[in-house]
Amino acid sequence: MKPQRKRKLAQIGLVVIGLGTAVGLGLYALSTNINLFYPPAKVVAGDAPIGTTIRVGGMVVEDSVVRAGDSLKVSFAVTDYAERVTIRYEGILPDLFREGQGIVAEGQLNGARELVATQVLAKHDEQYMPPEIAESLQNQEANKVY
């Protein structure tokens, strides 16, 4: 092989290695920043990973909100009308948070499959519902057996 071809082959090899490294680092960064959404039925079924930041959404179950008297700790349940998941949160809840409303909570599941939330998001008007929750509720409604 001629020296010019060896040099070109080495340059192409370096470019391929550089691109591969860049793509690998980009995918690794994305994988640590992606928060997947799980409806309560999938959390109860065990499809949601424990110890990984995820989002769980649904309707806040009536009479499930329990507030601690001496701190900002609160626990409540969300449902997709098939299953329910308990969410524990410490902090100020959004003004629009109410029982019977759709919310999305972000956090990590503990061993008891309860979500320890770091953020709770409530819907912002009467007509809006996060698309993931709407799809989950439609799927649950379609799968109901009468």
Q: Which residues are annotated as a binding site for heme?
A: 124, 128
Q: How far apart are CA 139 and CA 41, in angstroms?
A: 11
Binding-site residue numbers are: 124, 128
3-state SS record for the chain: CCHHHHHHHHHHHHHHHHHHHHHHHHHHHHHHHCCEEECHHHHHHCCCCECCEEEEEEEECCCCCEECCCCCEEEEEEECCCCEEEEEEECCCCCCCCCCCEEEEEEEECCCCCEEEEEEEECCCCCCCCHHHHHHHHHHHHCCCC
Neighbours of 86 (CB within 10 A): 19
Read off the tokens for 30. Answer: 């994305």
